[in-house]
């Protein structure tokens, strides 16, 4: 079966969210498989990730990949993740 849901939220958006720490990339090889059977589960994760990105970027938090989000995603930026995941997978906050 092929992925649905607007091609699993556009591969490039998902890739952006993974690269900058908004979506978990712990087991991408397994996740790629599971996604086809658990679209809903990943749908929620995806929305949360988009919201976190929007909050971090200081744009309106909608949970949708809207125009402002797309503009933010093409802006020049640092290559480090915004949400750092240590080896133990914890998020560090101040």
> Which residues in this chain contact other proteins in the complex, by CB under 8 A?
15, 18-20, 25, 27-30, 32-33, 55-58, 72, 74-82, 84, 86, 92-94
Among residues 18, 28, 24, 17, the alpha carbon closest in space to that of 73 is found at 17
Measured from the Cβ of residue 1, the count of other Cβ atoms closer than 10 Å reads 5
Among residues 18, 50, 49, 51, the alpha carbon closest in space to that of 32 is found at 18
**Minimal distance in Å, beta carbon 82 to other proteins?**
5
Which is closer to other proteins, CB of 4 or CB of 30? 30
Which is closer to other proteins, CB of 44 or CB of 84? 84
């Amino acid at each position: 079966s092929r992925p649905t849901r607007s091609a699993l939220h556009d591969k490039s958006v998902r890739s952006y969210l993974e690269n900058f720490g908004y979506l978990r990339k712990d087991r991408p090889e397994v996740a790629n498989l599971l996604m086809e059977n658990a679209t809903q589960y990943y749908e929620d994760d995806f929305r949360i990730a988009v919201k976190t990105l929007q909050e971090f970027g200081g744009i309106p938090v909608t949970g949708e990949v809207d125009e402002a989000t797309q503009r933010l995603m093409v802006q020049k930026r640092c290559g480090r993740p915004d949400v750092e995941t240590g080896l133990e997978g914890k998020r560090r906050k101040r």
